């Protein structure tokens, strides 16, 4: 499996994975803590997890922006391909990701992408669709193929978020020397999280 880089000095990350707190009571508690339109956005979700993730990720982002950049008032805008950004702070970048296992937020003074995914079963069709020959061989030969697949997948998704293009047809070859990634596997909670930045 390809090795990541330590990006801890470049990207500030907040990670939440105590999903026992994903309850309607916690949603009600957080609603008054976020401004419009985030509040309305959260309430559009039909299920508790969607509402919880929407609210919690915003509060995590708010904490990171204040601690790293001293920003206490911000508005999230959406770029052409759906990438969120801070219009009033063009030199501050962030990325948000969540799955049923965890919520991850990253902020940086440079463009950044982050992705978190739970370990999951996969078949050969999915491997062929998402991985190149080297990556596929690495996953098949791994003692923990689900973990290795999640590591590769989150790296690719983090790079797509970094680029702001959304997932394209370039799944096989999106990992290049133009970007660097850092991946952490949480074996106890069953998920992988990856961060991507441009290689300068």
pLDDT tens per residue, range 3-53:
445 676 799 999 999 999 999 999 999 999 999 999 999 999 999 999 999
What span, in angstroms and rounded, lies between the C-alpha atoms of 56 and 129? Answer: 33
Q: What does the pLDDT read at residue 164?
A: 87
Q: Does the domain made of 11-18+77-198 have the CATH classification 3.90.470.20?
A: yes
Least Cα distance to 110 among 6, 5, 14, 196 occurs for 196
Q: Contact at 8 Å (CB) between 149 and 121? A: no
How many H-runs (helices) and E-runs (strands) does the chain carry? 6, 8
Quote the percentage of the chain above a pLDDT of 70. Answer: 96
Q: Which two tokens stand for residue 101?
A: 């296992």
In tens, the pLDDT along 131-173 reads 999 999 999 999 999 999 999 999 999 999 999 877 776 889 9
Q: What does the pLDDT read at residue 5?
A: 55
What is the pTM assigned to this prediction? 0.93
Spatial CB neighbours of 106, under 8 Å, sequence gap ≥ 6: 11, 12, 13, 14, 64, 94, 95, 112, 113, 114, 195
Pairing of strands 113-118, 103-108: unpaired
Average pLDDT, the chain: 93
Q: Which two tokens stand for residue 199?
A: 């290689």
Which strand (E) or helix (H) includes residue 162?
helix 145-163
């Amino acid at each position: 499996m390809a090795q990541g880089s330590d990006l801890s000095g470049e990207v500030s990350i907040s990670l939440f994975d105590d999903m026992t707190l994903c309850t309607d009571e916690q949603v009600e508690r957080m609603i008054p803590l976020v401004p419009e339109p985030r509040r309305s956005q959260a309430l559009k979700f039909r299920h508790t997890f969607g509402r919880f993730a929407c609210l919690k990720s915003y509060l995590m982002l708010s904490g990171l922006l204040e601690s790293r950049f001293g920003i206490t008032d911000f508005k999230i805008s959406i770029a052409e391909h759906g990438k969120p950004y801070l219009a009033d702070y063009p030199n501050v970048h962030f990325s948000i990701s969540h799955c049923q296992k965890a919520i991850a937020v990253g902020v940086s003074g440079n463009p950044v992408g982050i992705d978190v995914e739970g370990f999951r079963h996969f078949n050969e069709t999915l491997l062929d669709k998402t991985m190149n020959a080297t990556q596929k061989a690495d996953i098949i030969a791994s003692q923990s193929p689900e973990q290795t697949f999640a590591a590769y997948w989150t790296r690719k998704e983090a790079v797509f978020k970094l680029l702001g293009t959304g997932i394209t047809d370039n799944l096989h070859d999106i990992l290049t020397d133009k970007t660097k990634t850092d991946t952490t596997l949480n074996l106890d909670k069953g998920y992988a999280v990856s961060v991507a930045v441009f290689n300068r």
